Chain A
């Protein structure tokens, strides 16, 4: 059987976002995979340079539809670092609480998608039904289901009142019970096991070499979580990173489900702590924040998909450069590597188990590759044009005489 290229995407039912995986297949077996990106390029990094710091908060939230709060947290944290200020404790706890809520809804989305990709629609619908509880909590706390706009430079926009506590406690109880059930389904359901165990295996050694971040790394047994540094309120909440063993699709799902349970624990603790902490939720900073020109900083937070990284360089009232490295960026070469040798039926499972967010990442990779490519191409083209041009001129000049 000769091999042929199967275009997995950019439009494909298994992909929720446009990305293109060129699969070289021989029958059902995959011989090679190549990821082609650039369908979501939005030019956000460049747009940062045209607006004041405060307006950049809204822009950074639009990097991703699922983990927008992490982007604003990371962006604001960077500015606060450059200003040399520390936000009030209450603001720290609220930021953390909303972060953990968002992590839960992101992880539950990923779990649901894995269930859907293996063809178990029922589990997908169940998980998405329960995910609504998280969305409800987010709505009642922040006013929005997605894109909360909770963060401002120097704190948060909105306080969390006692009136939410009753409903939240109830929802968290239900969620804990349901998530424990889903954890056992991912662990023990016979067909789930057949489809996800030893699929997309990423060994500890290989993980160290390729270096993905977030649950994908921790599922391979490497304990790396930015939250362990204790930024925001994570130190008070006694965060413990969840690690797994084996690093296959099943383990990645289990790690995500366990992280949701850890999130529930932290949210509960955070809610009780919030009753004790009094005070402002935001620093009184001028609305047109100005940072000393030339200052630069690196800010990082742990997004659901792993370490999110912002580099910022100040140009006074505006940044001169904002560079975002989203967690999914670290997943791409892993994807190409672990797809090899599996069958086509494993592709959606592996892709979903890595939980990539192409929309977040595309913007930056494409700026990268584009600028690189353009340079090379123009250089070549210039040389080529000169050569070609002179030849042509010469030829034309010569012909009439012949």
Chain B
């Protein structure tokens, strides 16, 4: 017992300030705890505010937390046709990749773990892009691993939607990337409205919010990829979804609206959240083919206009 205590003390002594900060970044802010608290709070706000807009009372703000802990306490069921290991791995990888993204974003002007030199290299934007895709792909894989026709259909839709929104989303990020040297730095870029629009549409697609709540369309394919999931695994998926809210809204607030202090970050994040809520309340669901056409033939070309403006030098910082 005493030896263990000394071991632990030694471990803490070994922590250099840099290491301590890294651990803090990973576990507290902007990592695990922030994603958990703020992400679920965002989801709670979305549910509550849209309920009020729909003449409902709605669940309490902290309902997602209740759901999460309740799910954690439930039995872990693996259906006969499911691939158990994959089913557990998918939400974890999905969550982890989103957490990695969070470390790249200088949230609220604080230097994050990967947003300082030397890791803050040229092209960190691309790393973020890939990790975001990874999170979506593993979400889809989870559906295929469940061995359920609704889940498989949901996964097909998830991947199709990924191919649809990724084109304008990438164009939009590249447009900003050209200006920032493919780093993620606070930058006000609303002078490029189409790029922002494409980013917003991409966020709606990634979070599968209306009108793009196609992969988990309740009335059509039950719960999409997560149809067969319950208990702790579903809790992990919920956590990954909360992390998605946290990361994507933070990315928007920093990279497009230029949030560089705690106050501006909070205000811009809530503004973005408000836009998402309006979309959620106002729009019906598109079909997957219609969504695909919208992304490729409406949002994509618009995003290309802004990319051309930046590349041809019509827009200078």
The interface of chain A, by Cβ under 8 A from chain B, is 4-7, 12-14, 27-28, 115-123, 125-126, 129, 189, 191-192, 194-195, 343-348
Q: Is the beta-carbon distance between B217 and A119 smaller than 8 angstroms?
A: yes
Contacting residues, chain A, for B283 (C-beta < 8 A) = 119-120, 191
A13 touches B219 (CB 8 A): yes
- CB-defined A-B contacts under 8 Å, sample of 30: A4-B149, A5-B149, A6-B150, A6-B153, A12-B222, A13-B222, A14-B220, A27-B156, A28-B288, A28-B289, A119-B217, A119-B283, A119-B284, A120-B284, A122-B282, A125-B55, A126-B54, A129-B55, A191-B211, A191-B284, A191-B285, A192-B284, A195-B284, A195-B286, A343-B289, A344-B221, A345-B214, A345-B285, A346-B287, A347-B220
B206 within 8 A of partner (CB): no
Chain B residue contacts of A120, Cβ below 8 A: 283-285
How far is A12 from B220 in the complex, measured between Cα atoms in Å?
9
User: Is the CB–CB distance between A14 and B56 below 8 Å?
Assistant: no
B218 near A: Cβ within 8 Å? Answer: yes
Judge whether B290 is part of the interface by a CB distance below 8 angstroms: yes
Binary flags per residue of B89-101, CB closer than 8 Å to A gives 1, else 0 = 0000000000000
Which residues of chain B are within 8 angstroms of A126 by Cβ–Cβ distance? Answer: 54-55
Judge whether A125 and B285 touch: CB under 8 Å. no
Residues of A within 8 A of B219 (CB): 13-14, 116-117, 119, 348
Can you name the residue of chain A whose Cβ is closest to the Cβ of B53? A122
Beyond contacts A6-B150, A118-B285, A121-B50: 12 other A-B pairs, Cβ-Cβ < 8 A, are A6-B153, A13-B218, A13-B219, A14-B220, A119-B285, A121-B54, A122-B281, A125-B54, A189-B284, A191-B211, A345-B220, A345-B287
**Shortest distance between the CB of A126 and any CB in chain B (Å):** 7
Give the tally of cross-chain contacts (CB within 8 A).
78
Contacts of B284 in A (CB 8 A): 115, 118-120, 123, 189, 191-192, 195
Instruction: Please state if B286 and A191 are interface contacts (CB–CB under 8 Å).
Output: yes
Partner of A195 from B218, B221, B285 at Cβ < 8 Å: B285
Query: Closest residue to A191 on the B side, CB-wise?
Result: B284
Residues of A near B149 (CB, < 8 A) are: 4-7
Q: How far is the CA of A158 from the CA of B227 in the complex (A)?
A: 50
Contact between A28 and B153, CB atoms less than 8 A apart: yes
Considering the complex, give the chain A residue whose CB is closest to the CB of B210: A119
Number of chain B residues whose Cβ lies closer than 8 Å to a Cβ of chain A: 29
Distance in angstroms from B298 CB to nearest chain A CB is 13
Are A122 and B54 closer than 8 Å at their CB atoms? yes
Alpha-carbon distance between A121 and B288 when the two chains are bound, in angstroms: 19
**Whole-angstrom distance between the Cβ of A249 and the nearest chain B Cβ:** 13
Instruction: Give the Cβ gap from B17 to chain A, nearest Cβ, in Å.
Output: 50
Contact with A along B144-155 (1 / 0, CB 8 A): 000001100100
Residues of A with C-beta under 8 A to B282: 122
B56 touches A125 (CB 8 A): yes
Cβ A194 vs Cβ B286 within 8 A: yes
Please indicate which of the listed interface residues B210, B221, B282, B286 has the most CB atoms of chain A within 10 Å of its own CB.
Answer: B221
Q: How far apart are B43's CB and chain A's nearest CB, in angstroms?
A: 16
**B261 CB to closest chain A CB, in angstroms?**
35
A186 to chain B, nearest CB (A): 11
The 7 closest A-B pairs by CB, nearest first: A119-B285, A120-B284, A14-B219, A191-B284, A125-B54, A348-B219, A118-B284
Per-residue interface assignment for chain B, residues 280 to 308, with 1 indicating a CB less than 8 Å from any chain A CB and 0 otherwise: 01111111111000000000000000000
Chain B contacts for A117, CB-based, 8 A: 219
Chain A residue numbers with a CB within 8 Å of B289 are 28, 343
Asked if B241 lies at the interface with its beta carbon under 8 angstroms from chain A, I say: no
Q: Please indicate the chain A residues that have their CB under 8 angstroms from the CB of B50 in the complex.
A: 121
- Give complex CA distance A191, B214 in Å: 14
A14 to B288, CA, bound (A): 18
Task: Write out the residue numbers on chain A whose beta carbons fall within 8 Å of the beta carbon of B233.
Answer: none
Tell me, yes or no, whether B213 is within 8 Å of chain A by CB.
yes
In the bound complex, CA of A189 to CA of B285 (Å): 13
Nearest neighbor of A113 in chain B, beta-carbon distance: B219
Smallest distance from the beta carbon of B297 to chain A beta carbons, Å? 14
**What's the minimum C-beta distance from A5 to chain B, rounded to whole angstroms?**
8
Complex Cα–Cα for A347 and B221 (A): 10
CA distance A121 to B218 in the complex (A): 12
CA distance A219 to B117 in the complex (A): 67
Query: Which residues of the other chain, B, contact A28 by a CB distance below 8 angstroms?
Result: 153, 156, 288-289
Q: Which residues of A contact B150 (CB under 8 A)?
A: 6
Check if A345 sits within 8 Å of B55, measured CB to CB: no
By a CB distance below 8 angstroms, the chain B residues around A343 are 287-289
For B115-133 the 0/1 string (1 means CB < 8 A from A) is 0000000000000000000
Contacts of B53 in A (CB 8 A): 122
Chain B residues closer than 8 Å to A192, beta-carbon distance = 284
**Residues of A close to B287: CB separation below 8 A:** 194-195, 343, 345-346
Distance of B279 from chain A, by nearest CB (Å): 11
Q: Report chain B residues within 8 Å CB of A115.
A: 284
The smallest C-beta distance from A333 to any residue of chain B, in angstroms, reads 23
Q: A119-B213, A119-B217 are in contact. Are A344 and B285 (CB under 8 A)?
A: no
Q: Which residues of A contact B218 (CB under 8 A)?
A: 13-14
- Give the docked Cα–Cα distance between A247 and B271 (Å): 43
Cα separation A13 to B219 with both chains bound (whole Å): 5
- Give the complex CA separation of A194 and B50 in angstroms: 23
Q: Which residue of A lies closest to B221 (CB)?
A: A344
The distance in angstroms between the C-alpha atoms of A192 and B149, with both chains bound, is 27
| Across-interface contacts of A121 in B (CB, < 8 A) | 50, 54, 281
Q: Tell me the complex Cα distance, A120–B217, Å.
A: 11
Cα A118 to Cα B219 with chains together (Å):
8
Residue of B nearest to A115 (CB): B284
